[in-house]
Amino acid sequence: MEKVIDETQQGSALVMEPNKDNSRKLFIESYGCQMNFSDSEIVASILAKEGFNTTDKLEDADLVLVNTCSIREKAEQTVRKRLEKYNAVKRHNPSMKVGVLGCMAERLKSKFLEEEKIVDLVVGPDAYKDLPNLIEEVEAGRNAVNVILSKEETYADVSPVRLQSNGVSAFVSITRGCDNMCTFCVVPFTRGRERSRDPQSILEEVNDLAARGFKEITLLGQNVDSYLWYGGGLKKDFDKASEMQKATAVNFAGLLDQVAKAQPKMRIRFSTSNPQDMTLDVIETMAKHQNICKYIHLPVQSGSDRILKKMNRLHTREEYFTLIDNIRKIIPDCAISQDMIAGFPTETEEDHQDTLSLMEYVKYDFGFMFAYSERPGTMAGRKMEDDVPEPVKKRRLQEIIELQREHSLYRTQQHLGKIEEVLIEKESKKSDLHWSGRNTQNTMVVFPKEHYKVGDFVKVKIEDCTSATLLGTPVGYSDNN
Protein backbone atom coordinates (compact mmCIF):
# COMPACT_ATOMS: atom_id res chain seq x y z
CA MET A 1 0.00 0.00 0.00
CA GLU A 2 1.16 3.51 -0.70
CA LYS A 3 1.53 5.71 2.29
CA VAL A 4 -1.60 7.81 2.44
CA ILE A 5 -1.13 9.54 5.70
CA ASP A 6 -2.08 12.80 7.16
CA GLU A 7 0.32 12.93 10.04
CA THR A 8 3.48 10.86 9.94
CA GLN A 9 3.71 10.43 13.68
CA GLN A 10 0.43 10.03 15.44
CA GLY A 11 0.08 11.23 18.97
CA SER A 12 0.88 8.58 21.45
CA ALA A 13 2.78 8.97 24.69
CA LEU A 14 6.52 9.14 24.20
CA VAL A 15 8.50 7.54 26.97
CA MET A 16 12.13 7.41 28.02
CA GLU A 17 14.18 5.53 30.59
CA PRO A 18 13.20 6.87 34.02
CA ASN A 19 15.69 8.63 36.27
CA LYS A 20 15.18 7.50 39.87
CA ASP A 21 15.95 10.95 41.28
CA ASN A 22 13.11 12.51 39.30
CA SER A 23 9.63 12.67 40.77
CA ARG A 24 7.54 14.93 38.53
CA LYS A 25 5.59 13.24 35.76
CA LEU A 26 5.54 14.44 32.16
CA PHE A 27 3.13 13.11 29.55
CA ILE A 28 4.42 14.21 26.13
CA GLU A 29 3.01 13.38 22.73
CA SER A 30 3.85 14.52 19.24
CA TYR A 31 1.77 15.11 16.12
CA GLY A 32 2.97 15.91 12.62
CA CYS A 33 6.38 15.56 11.05
CA GLN A 34 9.56 13.77 12.11
CA MET A 35 11.02 17.13 13.10
CA ASN A 36 8.34 17.48 15.77
CA PHE A 37 9.16 14.03 17.05
CA SER A 38 12.83 14.96 17.18
CA ASP A 39 11.98 18.24 18.96
CA SER A 40 9.99 16.32 21.56
CA GLU A 41 13.17 14.40 22.35
CA ILE A 42 14.94 17.71 22.92
CA VAL A 43 12.11 18.90 25.17
CA ALA A 44 12.16 15.68 27.20
CA SER A 45 15.90 16.08 27.61
CA ILE A 46 15.54 19.66 28.87
CA LEU A 47 12.80 18.62 31.31
CA ALA A 48 14.66 15.55 32.58
CA LYS A 49 17.07 18.08 34.11
CA GLU A 50 14.09 19.75 35.78
CA GLY A 51 13.07 16.62 37.65
CA PHE A 52 10.61 15.13 35.15
CA ASN A 53 10.23 11.49 34.18
CA THR A 54 7.91 10.58 31.31
CA THR A 55 4.70 8.65 31.82
CA ASP A 56 2.37 7.00 29.33
CA LYS A 57 -0.61 7.51 31.63
CA LEU A 58 -2.32 10.81 31.02
CA GLU A 59 -4.18 10.49 34.34
CA ASP A 60 -0.90 10.49 36.31
CA ALA A 61 0.70 13.51 34.65
CA ASP A 62 1.74 16.68 36.47
CA LEU A 63 2.49 18.25 33.12
CA VAL A 64 1.02 17.38 29.70
CA LEU A 65 2.79 18.66 26.60
CA VAL A 66 1.50 18.21 23.08
CA ASN A 67 3.75 18.99 20.14
CA THR A 68 1.42 20.24 17.42
CA CYS A 69 1.16 20.43 13.63
CA SER A 70 -0.41 23.19 11.51
CA ILE A 71 0.35 21.85 8.05
CA ARG A 72 -3.28 21.14 7.15
CA GLU A 73 -6.51 22.15 8.85
CA LYS A 74 -7.23 18.55 9.75
CA ALA A 75 -3.96 18.31 11.69
CA GLU A 76 -5.05 21.25 13.83
CA GLN A 77 -8.50 19.74 14.39
CA THR A 78 -6.88 16.53 15.61
CA VAL A 79 -4.96 18.47 18.25
CA ARG A 80 -8.07 20.38 19.36
CA LYS A 81 -9.89 17.08 19.83
CA ARG A 82 -6.99 15.88 21.93
CA LEU A 83 -7.29 18.98 24.13
CA GLU A 84 -10.90 17.95 24.86
CA LYS A 85 -9.59 14.66 26.15
CA TYR A 86 -7.09 16.46 28.42
CA ASN A 87 -9.98 18.54 29.69
CA ALA A 88 -11.90 15.44 30.70
CA VAL A 89 -8.86 14.05 32.52
CA LYS A 90 -8.17 17.34 34.28
CA ARG A 91 -11.53 17.08 36.02
CA HIS A 92 -10.06 14.19 38.02
CA ASN A 93 -6.58 15.68 38.29
CA PRO A 94 -7.12 19.44 38.75
CA SER A 95 -3.46 20.27 39.39
CA MET A 96 -2.40 18.93 35.98
CA LYS A 97 -0.91 21.64 33.72
CA VAL A 98 -1.24 21.60 29.93
CA GLY A 99 1.20 23.08 27.43
CA VAL A 100 1.14 23.25 23.64
CA LEU A 101 4.39 23.20 21.69
CA GLY A 102 5.27 23.39 18.01
CA CYS A 103 3.63 24.89 14.97
CA MET A 104 0.12 25.56 16.31
CA ALA A 105 1.66 27.27 19.34
CA GLU A 106 3.67 29.50 17.01
CA ARG A 107 0.75 30.19 14.69
CA LEU A 108 -1.88 30.98 17.34
CA LYS A 109 0.40 32.46 20.04
CA SER A 110 -1.49 33.83 23.07
CA LYS A 111 -4.79 33.42 21.18
CA PHE A 112 -4.47 29.77 22.15
CA LEU A 113 -5.04 30.68 25.80
CA GLU A 114 -8.30 32.42 24.90
CA GLU A 115 -9.54 29.77 22.50
CA GLU A 116 -8.73 26.72 24.61
CA LYS A 117 -9.24 27.27 28.32
CA ILE A 118 -7.41 24.06 29.20
CA VAL A 119 -4.10 25.47 27.93
CA ASP A 120 -1.71 26.99 30.51
CA LEU A 121 1.44 27.19 28.44
CA VAL A 122 2.21 28.06 24.78
CA VAL A 123 5.75 27.51 23.50
CA GLY A 124 7.00 27.93 19.94
CA PRO A 125 9.64 25.71 18.28
CA ASP A 126 12.59 27.99 19.05
CA ALA A 127 11.77 28.61 22.72
CA TYR A 128 12.14 25.18 24.32
CA LYS A 129 15.18 26.18 26.37
CA ASP A 130 12.93 28.64 28.16
CA LEU A 131 10.63 25.82 29.31
CA PRO A 132 12.07 25.62 32.86
CA ASN A 133 11.23 29.31 33.45
CA LEU A 134 7.86 29.04 31.75
CA ILE A 135 6.89 26.00 33.81
CA GLU A 136 7.82 27.89 36.98
CA GLU A 137 5.42 30.63 35.91
CA VAL A 138 2.67 28.13 35.29
CA GLU A 139 3.24 26.47 38.63
CA ALA A 140 2.88 29.86 40.29
CA GLY A 141 -0.58 30.02 38.74
CA ARG A 142 0.15 32.27 35.77
CA ASN A 143 -0.21 31.40 32.10
CA ALA A 144 3.03 31.52 30.12
CA VAL A 145 3.78 32.14 26.44
CA ASN A 146 7.06 32.22 24.53
CA VAL A 147 6.80 32.15 20.75
CA ILE A 148 9.89 34.13 19.85
CA LEU A 149 11.57 32.77 16.72
CA SER A 150 15.34 32.77 16.72
CA LYS A 151 18.13 33.49 14.25
CA GLU A 152 20.49 31.06 15.89
CA GLU A 153 18.78 28.38 17.93
CA THR A 154 19.55 24.87 16.65
CA TYR A 155 19.62 23.05 20.02
CA ALA A 156 23.12 21.87 19.05
CA ASP A 157 24.09 21.78 22.72
CA VAL A 158 21.11 19.73 23.88
CA SER A 159 21.71 16.04 23.75
CA PRO A 160 18.27 14.58 22.99
CA VAL A 161 16.93 11.66 25.01
CA ARG A 162 15.56 8.93 22.73
CA LEU A 163 11.84 8.53 23.18
CA GLN A 164 10.02 5.31 22.35
CA SER A 165 13.09 4.17 20.55
CA ASN A 166 13.69 0.71 19.14
CA GLY A 167 17.38 1.35 19.82
CA VAL A 168 18.08 0.95 16.09
CA SER A 169 17.06 4.13 14.25
CA ALA A 170 17.24 7.75 15.38
CA PHE A 171 16.59 11.20 13.97
CA VAL A 172 19.29 13.85 13.99
CA SER A 173 18.18 17.35 13.13
CA ILE A 174 20.57 19.38 10.97
CA THR A 175 18.64 22.51 9.98
CA ARG A 176 15.71 24.44 11.37
CA GLY A 177 13.19 26.66 9.61
CA CYS A 178 12.65 27.14 5.90
CA ASP A 179 13.27 30.04 3.53
CA ASN A 180 11.53 28.61 0.51
CA MET A 181 8.14 30.24 0.92
CA CYS A 182 6.07 27.76 -1.06
CA THR A 183 2.80 29.69 -1.26
CA PHE A 184 0.66 26.92 0.31
CA CYS A 185 2.94 26.22 3.26
CA VAL A 186 2.70 27.47 6.83
CA VAL A 187 6.14 26.15 7.89
CA PRO A 188 8.18 29.31 7.15
CA PHE A 189 5.77 31.19 9.47
CA THR A 190 5.77 28.64 12.27
CA ARG A 191 9.39 27.57 12.20
CA GLY A 192 11.09 30.75 11.12
CA ARG A 193 14.06 31.39 8.90
CA GLU A 194 16.49 28.74 7.90
CA ARG A 195 19.62 28.08 9.98
CA SER A 196 22.02 25.16 10.05
CA ARG A 197 23.54 23.31 12.93
CA ASP A 198 27.27 23.07 13.55
CA PRO A 199 28.61 19.95 11.74
CA GLN A 200 30.83 19.16 14.73
CA SER A 201 27.81 18.79 17.03
CA ILE A 202 26.04 16.68 14.39
CA LEU A 203 29.05 14.36 14.16
CA GLU A 204 29.25 14.11 17.94
CA GLU A 205 25.60 13.14 18.14
CA VAL A 206 26.01 10.54 15.38
CA ASN A 207 29.14 9.08 17.02
CA ASP A 208 27.34 8.91 20.35
CA LEU A 209 24.38 7.11 18.75
CA ALA A 210 26.77 4.62 17.13
CA ALA A 211 28.48 4.02 20.48
CA ARG A 212 25.07 3.30 22.01
CA GLY A 213 24.32 0.67 19.39
CA PHE A 214 22.13 2.61 16.95
CA LYS A 215 22.43 1.35 13.36
CA GLU A 216 20.63 3.97 11.31
CA ILE A 217 20.19 7.72 11.45
CA THR A 218 18.00 10.10 9.48
CA LEU A 219 19.34 13.62 9.05
CA LEU A 220 16.36 15.92 9.33
CA GLY A 221 15.51 19.32 7.96
CA GLN A 222 12.62 21.00 6.16
CA ASN A 223 14.99 21.36 3.23
CA VAL A 224 18.18 19.42 3.90
CA ASP A 225 19.87 20.26 0.59
CA SER A 226 19.93 23.84 1.67
CA TYR A 227 22.17 22.99 4.67
CA LEU A 228 25.01 25.49 4.96
CA TRP A 229 27.26 25.95 7.97
CA TYR A 230 29.52 28.97 7.93
CA GLY A 231 29.92 29.55 11.63
CA GLY A 232 26.29 30.13 12.65
CA GLY A 233 23.50 32.53 11.73
CA LEU A 234 20.77 32.59 9.14
CA LYS A 235 21.26 31.07 5.72
CA LYS A 236 20.08 34.30 4.13
CA ASP A 237 22.95 36.20 5.80
CA PHE A 238 25.63 34.02 4.16
CA ASP A 239 26.43 36.88 1.75
CA LYS A 240 27.62 38.93 4.72
CA ALA A 241 29.98 36.21 5.97
CA SER A 242 33.75 36.81 5.91
CA GLU A 243 35.94 35.37 3.12
CA MET A 244 37.34 32.92 5.65
CA GLN A 245 33.86 31.76 6.66
CA LYS A 246 32.87 31.36 3.03
CA ALA A 247 35.99 29.38 2.20
CA THR A 248 35.44 26.92 5.04
CA ALA A 249 31.65 26.62 4.74
CA VAL A 250 30.15 23.12 4.75
CA ASN A 251 27.24 22.35 2.42
CA PHE A 252 24.91 19.33 2.52
CA ALA A 253 27.08 17.16 0.27
CA GLY A 254 30.05 17.96 2.54
CA LEU A 255 28.09 17.12 5.68
CA LEU A 256 26.81 13.84 4.20
CA ASP A 257 30.35 12.90 3.25
CA GLN A 258 31.64 13.63 6.77
CA VAL A 259 28.84 11.69 8.48
CA ALA A 260 29.16 8.70 6.12
CA LYS A 261 32.92 8.56 6.67
CA ALA A 262 32.67 8.96 10.44
CA GLN A 263 30.42 5.90 10.80
CA PRO A 264 30.88 3.62 7.77
CA LYS A 265 28.76 0.86 9.29
CA MET A 266 25.85 3.09 10.08
CA ARG A 267 23.02 3.57 7.60
CA ILE A 268 22.50 7.20 6.71
CA ARG A 269 19.17 8.57 5.50
CA PHE A 270 17.97 12.14 5.09
CA SER A 271 14.73 14.02 4.64
CA THR A 272 13.42 16.21 3.02
CA SER A 273 14.89 17.29 -0.30
CA ASN A 274 13.41 20.13 -2.27
CA PRO A 275 14.11 19.53 -5.99
CA GLN A 276 15.11 23.14 -6.54
CA ASP A 277 17.93 22.85 -4.00
CA MET A 278 19.18 19.34 -4.66
CA THR A 279 22.55 19.39 -6.41
CA LEU A 280 24.47 16.77 -8.35
CA ASP A 281 27.20 16.64 -5.73
CA VAL A 282 24.66 15.32 -3.20
CA ILE A 283 23.72 12.49 -5.57
CA GLU A 284 27.38 11.80 -6.26
CA THR A 285 28.15 11.71 -2.54
CA MET A 286 25.31 9.20 -2.09
CA ALA A 287 26.81 7.03 -4.83
CA LYS A 288 30.26 7.23 -3.26
CA HIS A 289 29.25 5.79 0.13
CA GLN A 290 27.56 2.42 0.35
CA ASN A 291 26.19 3.30 3.79
CA ILE A 292 24.10 6.21 2.47
CA CYS A 293 20.73 4.67 1.68
CA LYS A 294 19.50 4.66 -1.89
CA TYR A 295 16.37 6.58 -1.25
CA ILE A 296 15.36 10.18 -1.90
CA HIS A 297 12.15 11.79 -0.74
CA LEU A 298 11.69 14.38 -3.47
CA PRO A 299 8.32 16.14 -3.12
CA VAL A 300 7.09 17.77 -6.32
CA GLN A 301 3.51 18.78 -5.32
CA SER A 302 2.27 19.12 -8.92
CA GLY A 303 3.21 18.12 -12.46
CA SER A 304 1.92 21.32 -14.03
CA ASP A 305 4.36 24.16 -14.76
CA ARG A 306 1.60 26.70 -14.26
CA ILE A 307 0.72 25.35 -10.81
CA LEU A 308 4.38 24.90 -9.79
CA LYS A 309 4.86 28.57 -10.51
CA LYS A 310 1.82 29.57 -8.48
CA MET A 311 3.14 27.42 -5.64
CA ASN A 312 6.48 29.26 -5.85
CA ARG A 313 8.25 25.97 -6.44
CA LEU A 314 11.28 27.27 -8.28
CA HIS A 315 11.71 24.54 -10.89
CA THR A 316 9.85 23.39 -13.97
CA ARG A 317 8.53 19.96 -14.86
CA GLU A 318 11.41 19.54 -17.33
CA GLU A 319 14.01 20.46 -14.71
CA TYR A 320 12.47 17.92 -12.37
CA PHE A 321 12.73 15.25 -15.07
CA THR A 322 16.39 16.14 -15.60
CA LEU A 323 17.00 15.69 -11.87
CA ILE A 324 15.20 12.33 -11.91
CA ASP A 325 17.24 11.25 -14.95
CA ASN A 326 20.46 12.23 -13.18
CA ILE A 327 19.51 10.29 -10.05
CA ARG A 328 18.72 7.20 -12.13
CA LYS A 329 21.97 7.56 -14.08
CA ILE A 330 24.17 7.97 -10.99
CA ILE A 331 22.28 5.59 -8.66
CA PRO A 332 20.30 3.23 -10.92
CA ASP A 333 18.39 1.46 -8.15
CA CYS A 334 17.58 4.55 -6.10
CA ALA A 335 14.04 4.72 -4.71
CA ILE A 336 12.23 8.02 -5.07
CA SER A 337 9.09 9.17 -3.26
CA GLN A 338 6.79 12.15 -3.63
CA ASP A 339 4.45 14.53 -1.85
CA MET A 340 1.52 15.71 -3.98
CA ILE A 341 -1.17 18.29 -3.44
CA ALA A 342 -4.48 17.84 -5.30
CA GLY A 343 -6.70 20.84 -5.95
CA PHE A 344 -4.38 23.80 -5.44
CA PRO A 345 -6.22 27.08 -6.34
CA THR A 346 -7.03 27.37 -10.07
CA GLU A 347 -5.94 23.76 -10.79
CA THR A 348 -7.69 22.57 -13.98
CA GLU A 349 -8.25 19.05 -15.31
CA GLU A 350 -5.34 19.66 -17.64
CA ASP A 351 -3.05 20.56 -14.72
CA HIS A 352 -4.22 17.43 -12.93
CA GLN A 353 -3.46 15.33 -16.02
CA ASP A 354 0.03 16.85 -15.98
CA THR A 355 0.44 15.56 -12.42
CA LEU A 356 -0.63 12.07 -13.47
CA SER A 357 1.70 12.09 -16.48
CA LEU A 358 4.61 13.27 -14.34
CA MET A 359 3.92 10.34 -12.02
CA GLU A 360 3.91 7.99 -15.02
CA TYR A 361 7.35 9.27 -15.96
CA VAL A 362 8.87 8.83 -12.50
CA LYS A 363 6.91 5.81 -11.22
CA TYR A 364 7.56 6.68 -7.59
CA ASP A 365 8.19 3.97 -5.03
CA PHE A 366 6.00 5.67 -2.41
CA GLY A 367 3.91 8.76 -2.01
CA PHE A 368 2.35 11.08 0.52
CA MET A 369 -0.71 12.65 -1.03
CA PHE A 370 -2.98 15.42 0.21
CA ALA A 371 -5.96 17.55 -0.78
CA TYR A 372 -5.08 21.24 -0.70
CA SER A 373 -5.93 22.83 2.63
CA GLU A 374 -5.88 26.61 2.80
CA ARG A 375 -3.65 27.88 5.61
CA PRO A 376 -4.20 31.30 7.15
CA GLY A 377 -1.33 33.73 6.65
CA THR A 378 0.27 31.94 3.69
CA MET A 379 0.53 33.69 0.32
CA ALA A 380 -2.01 31.30 -1.20
CA GLY A 381 -4.31 31.79 1.79
CA ARG A 382 -4.19 35.56 1.42
CA LYS A 383 -4.11 36.01 -2.34
CA MET A 384 -5.75 32.99 -3.96
CA GLU A 385 -9.29 31.77 -3.75
CA ASP A 386 -9.59 28.13 -2.66
CA ASP A 387 -11.70 27.56 -5.76
CA VAL A 388 -11.44 23.86 -6.57
CA PRO A 389 -14.66 22.31 -5.21
CA GLU A 390 -14.13 19.76 -2.44
CA PRO A 391 -15.57 16.79 -4.43
CA VAL A 392 -13.24 17.62 -7.34
CA LYS A 393 -10.23 17.77 -5.00
CA LYS A 394 -11.23 14.45 -3.48
CA ARG A 395 -11.67 12.78 -6.87
CA ARG A 396 -8.33 14.04 -8.17
CA LEU A 397 -6.64 12.95 -4.95
CA GLN A 398 -8.17 9.51 -5.34
CA GLU A 399 -6.86 9.25 -8.91
CA ILE A 400 -3.38 10.21 -7.72
CA ILE A 401 -3.54 7.65 -4.90
CA GLU A 402 -4.69 4.88 -7.24
CA LEU A 403 -1.95 5.59 -9.75
CA GLN A 404 0.60 5.63 -6.92
CA ARG A 405 -0.65 2.25 -5.76
CA GLU A 406 -0.01 0.82 -9.25
CA HIS A 407 3.46 2.32 -9.31
CA SER A 408 4.28 1.13 -5.79
CA LEU A 409 3.36 -2.40 -6.85
CA TYR A 410 5.43 -2.06 -10.02
CA ARG A 411 8.39 -0.98 -7.88
CA THR A 412 8.05 -3.69 -5.23
CA GLN A 413 7.84 -6.31 -8.00
CA GLN A 414 11.28 -5.24 -9.21
CA HIS A 415 12.75 -6.63 -5.97
CA LEU A 416 11.40 -10.17 -6.49
CA GLY A 417 14.13 -12.81 -6.65
CA LYS A 418 16.84 -10.48 -5.32
CA ILE A 419 18.85 -10.88 -2.14
CA GLU A 420 18.74 -7.60 -0.19
CA GLU A 421 20.21 -6.28 3.03
CA VAL A 422 17.58 -5.53 5.67
CA LEU A 423 18.08 -3.85 9.03
CA ILE A 424 15.73 -5.48 11.55
CA GLU A 425 13.70 -2.85 13.38
CA LYS A 426 10.81 -4.58 15.10
CA GLU A 427 8.35 -7.43 15.15
CA SER A 428 5.98 -7.56 12.20
CA LYS A 429 2.60 -6.01 13.04
CA LYS A 430 0.82 -9.01 11.61
CA SER A 431 2.82 -11.90 13.08
CA ASP A 432 4.98 -12.41 16.15
CA LEU A 433 6.93 -15.04 14.22
CA HIS A 434 8.23 -12.46 11.75
CA TRP A 435 10.62 -9.49 11.85
CA SER A 436 10.15 -6.32 9.91
CA GLY A 437 12.81 -3.92 8.70
CA ARG A 438 13.70 -1.92 5.63
CA ASN A 439 16.03 -2.40 2.70
CA THR A 440 18.23 0.46 1.50
CA GLN A 441 15.38 1.76 -0.68
CA ASN A 442 13.21 2.21 2.44
CA THR A 443 10.77 -0.54 1.47
CA MET A 444 9.45 -2.61 4.36
CA VAL A 445 10.60 -6.25 4.31
CA VAL A 446 8.96 -8.97 6.45
CA PHE A 447 10.57 -12.38 7.04
CA PRO A 448 10.68 -15.26 9.57
CA LYS A 449 12.57 -14.42 12.76
CA GLU A 450 14.75 -17.54 12.90
CA HIS A 451 17.74 -16.80 15.19
CA TYR A 452 18.09 -13.13 14.18
CA LYS A 453 17.44 -10.18 16.47
CA VAL A 454 16.50 -6.51 16.35
CA GLY A 455 19.42 -4.42 15.07
CA ASP A 456 20.92 -7.19 12.91
CA PHE A 457 21.71 -6.56 9.25
CA VAL A 458 20.37 -9.62 7.46
CA LYS A 459 20.43 -10.77 3.84
CA VAL A 460 16.91 -11.63 2.75
CA LYS A 461 15.81 -13.37 -0.43
CA ILE A 462 12.71 -11.52 -1.67
CA GLU A 463 9.99 -13.95 -2.73
CA ASP A 464 6.69 -12.13 -2.69
CA CYS A 465 5.30 -8.62 -2.41
CA THR A 466 2.30 -6.37 -1.99
CA SER A 467 2.40 -2.74 -3.12
CA ALA A 468 3.90 -1.74 0.25
CA THR A 469 5.76 -4.74 1.62
CA LEU A 470 8.30 -7.30 0.50
CA LEU A 471 8.17 -10.82 1.90
CA GLY A 472 11.18 -13.10 1.98
CA THR A 473 13.43 -15.63 3.67
CA PRO A 474 16.65 -14.76 5.51
CA VAL A 475 19.76 -16.34 4.02
CA GLY A 476 22.43 -15.10 6.45
CA TYR A 477 24.01 -12.09 8.12
CA SER A 478 25.20 -9.30 5.87
CA ASP A 479 28.83 -8.14 6.06
CA ASN A 480 27.74 -4.95 7.77
CA ASN A 481 27.23 -6.51 11.23
Residues that bind ligand SAH (CB under 6 A): 71-72, 184-185, 187, 222-223, 272, 299, 301, 339, 341, 370, 372-373, 375
Binding flag, residue 180, ligand F3S (CB under 6 A)? yes
Among 102, 188, 303, 472, binds ligand F3S (CB under 6 A): 188
Which residues in the 208-227 window bind ligand F3S by CB under 6 A? 222-223
Q: 159 CB contacts (<8 Å, ≥6 apart)?
A: 45, 205, 208
100: amino acid identity, one letter: V
Among 187, 217, 234, 340, binds ligand F3S (CB under 6 A): 187
Q: Which stretch binds ligand F3S (CB under 6 A): 26-34, 61-69, 159-167, 182-190?
A: 182-190
Binding flag, residue 263, ligand F3S (CB under 6 A)? no
Binding flag, residue 178, ligand F3S (CB under 6 A)? yes
User: Considering CB distances under 5 to 8 angstroms, the limit depending on partner class, which of ligand F3S, ligand SAH, none binds residue 341?
Assistant: ligand SAH
User: For ligand F3S, which is the closer residue by CB, 222 or 304?
Assistant: 222
Q: Return d(Cα 40, Cα 30) in angstroms, integer.
A: 7
Nearest distance from C-beta of residue 125 to ligand F3S, angstroms = 13
Among 42, 147, 182, 256, binds ligand F3S (CB under 6 A): 182
Q: Return d(Cα 228, Cα 252) in angstroms, integer.
A: 7
Can you state the percent helix, strand and coil of the chain, rounding each to 5?
A: 35, 25, 40
Nearest to 94 by CA among 149, 29, 141, 162: 141
User: Considering CB distances under 5 to 8 angstroms, the limit depending on partner class, which of ligand SAH, ligand F3S, none binds residue 375?
Assistant: ligand SAH
Q: Which residues pair with 176 in a beta bridge?
A: 195
DSSP 3-state assignment of 254?
A: helix
Q: Which stretch binds ligand F3S (CB under 6 A): 60-68, 183-191, 281-289, 414-422?
A: 183-191
Binding flag, residue 150, ligand F3S (CB under 6 A)? no
User: For ligand SAH, which is the closer residue by CB, 187 or 324?
Assistant: 187
- Please check whether residue 452 is in contact with residue 479, taking contact to mean a CB–CB distance below 8 angstroms: no
Report the helix count and the strand count for the chain, using DSSP H and E.
Answer: 15, 21
- Please check whether residue 277 is in contact with residue 181, taking contact to mean a CB–CB distance below 8 angstroms: no
Give the DSSP per-residue string, 357-409.
HHHHHH--SEEEEEE----TTSHHHHHS---S-HHHHHHHHHHHHHHHHHHHH
User: Considering CB distances under 5 to 8 angstroms, the limit depending on partner class, which of ligand F3S, ligand SAH, none binds residue 188?
Assistant: ligand F3S
Residues of the shown chain interacting with ligand F3S in the complex, contacts defined by CB under 6 A: 178, 180-182, 185, 187-188, 222-223, 274
